[in-house]
Amino acid sequence: MTFRTPGRPRDAEAQRRGRAPRRLTAAAGAAVLALATTACAGGNGGYLGGGGDGGLIRASWGDPQHPLEPANTNEVQGGKVLDMIFRGLVHYNPETGRAENAVAQSIDTEDQRNFTIRLKDGWTFSDGTPVTAKSFTDAWNYGAAGENAQVASYFFQFIEGYDEVHPAESGARPTARTLRGLHVVDDHTFTVRLTRPFSLWPQTLGYTAYAPLPRSFFEDHDAWLAKPVGNGPYRIDSYQPGQRMTLVANEDYAGEDKPRNDGVELRVYTDNNTAYTDLQAGNLDLIDDVPAARLGNVENDLGDRYVNQPAGILQTVSFPLYDRDWSGRSAAKVRQGLSMAINREEITSRLYHGTRTPAGDFTSPVLGDAGGYRADLCGDVCAYRPRRARELIEEGGGLPGGHVTLTSNVDTGSHRQWMDAVCHSINNVLDDSDACTVNPVPTFADFRNRISQRRMTGMFRTGWQMDYPLIQNFLQPLYYTNGSSNDSGYHNEEFDQRIDQANARPTQREAVRDFQEAERMLVDDLPAIPLWYQNGTAGYSERLSNVRLNPFSVPVFTDIEVS
Amino acid sequence: MGRYLLRRLVQMVPVFTGATFLIFLMVYALGDPVTALFGDRGPDPATARALRAEFNLDKPLWEQYLRYMGKIFTGDFGTAFNGRPVTELMANAFPISFRLMLVALGLEMVLGVALGVLTGLRRGRALDTSVLLATLVVIAVPTFVLGTTAQYLLGVELGWIQPAVSPDARLDELLLPGLILCLVSLAYVTRLTRTSVAENARADYVRTAVAKGLPARRVTVRHLLRNSLIPVVTYLGADIGTLMAGAIVTERIFNIQGVGYQLFQGIVRQNSPTVVGFVVVLVLIFLLANLFVDLLYAVLDPRIRYA
């Protein structure tokens, strides 16, 4: 350091001043020494550079929001891992999105309400214990019980007895410990009784909340959480929470989609821009979310190693139908007018570089035509019709108070840009620069609080990422009276009846037809305006091939090959 | 000295309690965090209630605060929403941010003082002007821009470094992030030292030292620099806390899982145990760093005595 003058005698003045200078130099010297030793000690171990990790796929990851329990995970980062280490009764084909039997041998019903589930032989958890009927019922009972406070527990609400283990009223004690509707017949058979007919229910069972759990989950919960054990194509080799997780192929995996690679190393990135830069530098093999700011250059940077394909995500804006200004027939006309005033084509192409496509119904293209997707179901209401928009808003009595706001949180997801664009489009059509204004809310939590407390007064952002690829999932939770995500407070008895009817239909074709009838009612009432379908994006390094995303915009890890 | 130290330590108690309470109040004022745990979906009332009870969010603010403070003294800083104890998060994050701070502080000390002395002694020359201009640019351009540009150039274009820092955060990996983090402070240290050196260069004692026939280097280092360093040391001391707490941007750019990252995530997820816990430790660091600086004055300037 600059203070040092080694090898020279101290002058008299410095000595009179006392020992201060020496102490300072000594401290500085010690600091340098400390820096040097830690630098050496840190030199071995840690990350290896590009290509040194054998067959492991180095992929980006985000810190999961909740502990890694199947029924306690509702976001994509935790879901990504659970999807790798668990297989449920059914599994969604990554290509078609259709539910195919995985652990289930058969799921039979006569009346769409009582189901008999038979399991295949030979499935084991990666700790060697067998997957039995009890693995499922125990897991479901755990997920449903109110006292376990699992965020995805409402998935079990269809099963009879849910109210007893998970009472809704405040202060109520559960009157049962297990779901009355579950009954183990033998090691490989159990029956399920639902509260009402639901023909598509077996197809919902691919959701991670329905995964089986080994005994170790219940016997030593903390140890299990530190290193979760499942029955999926991969098993966890090491896990440093908040930093990284190494998954290796599970040799005893009984499913058909065996991994075509040795394993995956998930690395936590705090900012997906850094992950993108790391991919460019060759330190990372796979990112499953190209940051919005890089979309403009991504084809230059990655060429054909960029993936952009539809995902089951629909962006909408909803209206507070509980507000007197927005209820009634004339308000529906205003809502339709607003929908026609939004130029979806222009916004998606300018802002999103082809990673969003204008929405024409209330579902998603990943459902396919057989699954109930109809690109033109919404018709003119979801198209850009400036003149008709003005007419409809006029007929409906104009905007309430001559003004509408568009509210969303702005802390994540670059929402500000599209909100500005939507308002701009509406203002242009109405030729009034103050007709629509953006109302940004600083945090997501605050925004969701306002919605759940029904304090909205104008349009607000609502998005829906499907839980399972069924048209039911795009309609019932969102628009059924008191549905779990019915944020607009939509209530239409005819719609509810249609949904009930659809759920009781024995075949998917008939069910889908009823769901689409119900969907048409939404176009008339328009509790929410469909904006655009969201795609999933990914980018990968030259080491990988056969990379694609499933309908949930998660990479199909088992198919990836490493060279 | 001993009494002075004791008095200062006792003074820390009200500052500490006040600061923690204010932070607690601010996080609390952000509203109920439980709804956000359910994503874009309306929370199931029973589950939300159970979660509120689990994290004591159903109690009044004063009771939450008292419970929290009571637990802190037994070493329990609460649990984050993802089930990890906050002490575990701190044990991971603080060493990393501390290392980053040391690197940044070391760089800004060595480079800043050296540049300050050089320019202070050569005022008005080409070197002085160019360094001054450079510091101006550094102060004016946001850290985010400098950081991402340097990361791209060195990490992707030239391939000299890895763009992201590994979870181990080794010192050699932290060199660039440390430099980016300290650049603004470095500019200030350079300017402070320069002004101070330029002022003192005309002082009587320097003239005396030169007249005594001491070598120029000795005059500069022993006499001039030592007297010029007091304002710089004040600044550096205060900077320790800033470098640890203010690294949010740098830590995000280079994927360093330190204090800034945990604080950011705590705020976004409105997890009061995380935010308050980390801020409590940061407040302690600020207080201790300030005390350290005050004590250092006496070392640098023997005329200052604490009783």
Q: Which whole number is the average pLDDT over A35-63?
A: 55
Instruction: Look up residue B228 and give its two tokens.
Output: 């010029």
Q: How many CB pairs under 8 A join A and B?
A: 201
A238 touches chain B (CB under 8 A): no
Nearest CB neighbour to B36, from listed A17, A146, A448? A448
Q: Is B142 exposed, middle or buried (0-12, 13-18, 19+ CB in 10 A)?
A: exposed
Q: What is the pLDDT of residues B218-270, one digit of tens each?
A: 888 888 888 888 888 888 888 888 888 768 888 888 988 888 888 888 887 77
Chain-chain contact of A448 with B47 (C-beta, under 8 angstroms):
no
Instruction: Look up residue B35 and give its two tokens.
Output: 């709804």
Percent of chain B clearing pLDDT 70 (strictly above): 98
CA distance A393 to A388: 9
Of all residues in chain A, the one with the smallest CA distance to B114 is A2
* Listed residue (B150, B156, B230) closest to B196, CA to CA: B230
Chain-chain contact of A5 with B44 (C-beta, under 8 angstroms):
no
Q: What is the pLDDT of residues B183-220, one digit of tens each?
A: 989 999 999 999 998 888 888 888 888 888 888 888 88
Q: What dotted CATH number matches A35-42+53-257? A: 3.40.190.10
Q: Which whole number is the average pLDDT over A235-246?
A: 91
Concatenate the DSSP letters of all residues of A479-536 into one string: HSTT-TT-TT----HHHHHHHHHHHH-SSHHHHHHHHHHHHHHHHHH-SEEEEEEEEE
The total of other beta-carbon atoms located within 10 Å of residue B79's CB is 18
CA distance B223 to A8: 16
Residue of A77, A448, A455 to mutate for B, most B C-beta atoms under 10 A: A448
CA distance A242 to chain B (A): 8
CA distance A154 to chain B (A): 7
Of all residues in chain A, the one with the smallest CA distance to B117 is A2
B75 touches chain A (CB under 8 A): no
CA distance A442 to chain B (A): 9
Instruction: Look up residue B67 and give its two tokens.
Output: 């419970």
Q: Is A439 exposed, middle or buried (0-12, 13-18, 19+ CB in 10 A)?
A: middle
Among A176-185, A470-479, B57-66, the range scoring the smallest mean pLDDT is B57-66
Concatenate the DSSP letters of all residues of B230-283 into one string: HHHHHHHHHHHHHHHHS-HHHHHHTT--SHHHHHHHHHHTT-HHHHHHHHHHHH
CA distance A447 to B30: 11
Per-window interface: B 152-171 vs A, CB < 8 A: 152, 155-156, 159, 162-164, 166-168, 170-171
On the question of pLDDT at A12 being above 50, the answer is no
In DSSP terms, A460 is beta-bridged to: A318, A407
CA distance B238 to chain A (A): 18
Strands A189-193 and A182-186: antiparallel
Q: Which whole number is the average pLDDT over A171-195?
A: 92
A316 within 8 A of A529, measured Cβ to Cβ: yes
Nearest CB neighbour to A153, from listed B47, B49, B172? B47
A226 within 8 A of A69, measured Cβ to Cβ: no
Chain-chain contact of B164 with A412 (C-beta, under 8 angstroms):
no
For B165, half-sphere exposure in the C-beta direction (CA atoms, 13 angstrom radius) is: 27
Helix (H, G, I), strand (E, B) or coil at A96: coil
B7 touches chain A (CB under 8 A): no
Identify the pLDDT of residue A393: 93
From chain B, the residues in CB contact with A411 under 8 A are 268
Of all residues in chain B, the one with the smallest CA distance to A461 is B40
Identify the pLDDT of residue A54: 58
Q: What dotted CATH number matches A313-533? A: 3.10.105.10
The residue ranking higher by pLDDT, A11 or A492, is A492
CA distance B233 to B221: 15
CA distance B168 to A188: 46
Q: Which secondary structure element, helix H or strand E, spans residue A101, and what is its range?
A: strand A99-101
A223 touches chain B (CB under 8 A): no
Q: Which whole number is the average pLDDT over A193-207?
A: 92
CA distance A106 to chain B (A): 32
Chain-chain contact of B255 with A449 (C-beta, under 8 angstroms):
no
In DSSP terms, A530 is beta-bridged to: A316
Instruction: Look up residue A314 and give its two tokens.
Output: 């629909």
Chain-chain contact of B37 with A66 (C-beta, under 8 angstroms):
yes
Mean pLDDT of chain A: 86
CA distance A333 to A397: 9
A296 touches chain B (CB under 8 A): no
Q: Which whole number is the average pLDDT over A217-231?
A: 94
CA distance A154 to B45: 10
Q: Which amino acid is at A486?
A: N
Identify the pLDDT of residue A15: 37
Q: Which amino acid is at A154?
A: Y
Chain-chain contact of B99 with A280 (C-beta, under 8 angstroms):
no
Strands A56-61 and A263-268: parallel
Q: Which whole number is the average pLDDT over B58-62?
A: 82
Domain limits, chain A: 35-42+53-257, 313-533
CA B300 to chain CA centroid, Å, is 23
- Tracing tokens 């952009």 back to the chain, one arrives at A308
A296 within 8 A of A353, measured Cβ to Cβ: yes
Among A73-82, A116-125, A258-267, A516-525, the range scoring the smallest mean pLDDT is A73-82
Q: Which amino acid is at B260?
A: G
B46 touches chain A (CB under 8 A): yes
Chain-chain contact of B82 with A146 (C-beta, under 8 angstroms):
no
Q: Which whole number is the average pLDDT over B151-178?
A: 86
Percent of chain A clearing pLDDT 70 (strictly above): 90
> What's this model's pTM, rounded to 2 decimal places?
0.83
CA distance A542 to chain B (A): 15
Identify the pLDDT of residue B307: 57
Asked whether the domain spanning A313-533 has the same topology as the one spanning A35-42+53-257, the reply is no
The string over A343-361, giving b where at least 16 C-beta atoms fall within 10 Å of a residue's C-beta and e elsewhere, is: bbeebbeebbbebbbbbbb
* Listed residue (A103, A99, A212) closest to A468, CA to CA: A99
From chain B, the residues in CB contact with A23 under 8 A are 299
* Listed residue (A250, A342, A253) closest to A529, CA to CA: A342
| Structure confidence at residue B105 as a pLDDT band (50, 70, 90) | very high
Identify the pLDDT of residue A413: 66
From chain A, the residues in CB contact with B261 under 8 A are 270
CA distance B154 to chain A (A): 10
Instruction: Look up residue B75 and give its two tokens.
Output: 């070493």
Concatenate the DSSP letters of all residues of A410-463 into one string: -SSTTHHHHHHHHHHHHHHHHT-TTSEEEEEES-HHHHHHHHHTT---SEEEEE
CA distance B223 to chain A (A): 10
- Tracing tokens 């500005």 back to the chain, one arrives at A420
A176 touches chain B (CB under 8 A): no
On the question of pLDDT at A423 being above 50, the answer is yes
| Structure confidence at residue A426 as a pLDDT band (50, 70, 90) | very high
CA distance A10 to A105: 88
A9 touches chain B (CB under 8 A): no
B206 touches chain A (CB under 8 A): no
Assign a CATH topology to domain B95-300: MetI-like fold (1.10.3720)
The residue ranking higher by pLDDT, A47 or B181, is B181
Chain-chain contact of A38 with B99 (C-beta, under 8 angstroms):
yes
Q: What is the pLDDT of residues A275-299, one digit of tens each?
A: 999 999 999 999 998 988 888 889 9
Nearest CB neighbour to B39, from listed A74, A166, A449? A74
Between the alpha carbon of residue A201 and those of residues A146, A157, A503, B294, the distances in Å are: 22, 12, 9, 70
* Listed residue (A269, A410, A378, A384) closest to A314, CA to CA: A378
CA distance A11 to A23: 16
CA distance B60 to B57: 8
Q: What is the pLDDT of residues A95-129, one digit of tens each?
A: 888 899 999 999 999 999 999 999 999 999 999 99
| Structure confidence at residue A250 as a pLDDT band (50, 70, 90) | very high
- For residue A543, the 8-state DSSP code is T
Residue of B34, B47, B210, B268 to mutate for A, most A C-beta atoms under 10 A: B47
* Listed residue (A509, A478, A419, A468) closest to A74, CA to CA: A468
Q: Is A136 exposed, middle or buried (0-12, 13-18, 19+ CB in 10 A)?
A: buried
In DSSP terms, A452 is beta-bridged to: none
For A277, half-sphere exposure in the C-beta direction (CA atoms, 13 angstrom radius) is: 29
| Structure confidence at residue A267 as a pLDDT band (50, 70, 90) | very high
A134 touches chain B (CB under 8 A): no
Between the alpha carbon of residue B108 and those of residues B179, B185, B227, the distances in Å are: 8, 7, 19
Of all residues in chain A, the one with the smallest CA distance to B300 is A20
Q: Which whole number is the average pLDDT over A56-63?
A: 92
Nearest CB neighbour to A484, from listed B31, B44, B166? B44
Domain limits, chain B: 2-72, 95-300
Strands A459-465 and A404-409: parallel
On the question of pLDDT at A25 being above 80, the answer is no
Which of the given ranges, A435-449, A515-529, B83-97, B234-248, has the highest pLDDT on average?
Answer: A515-529
Chain-chain contact of A443 with B36 (C-beta, under 8 angstroms):
yes
CA distance B128 to A224: 62
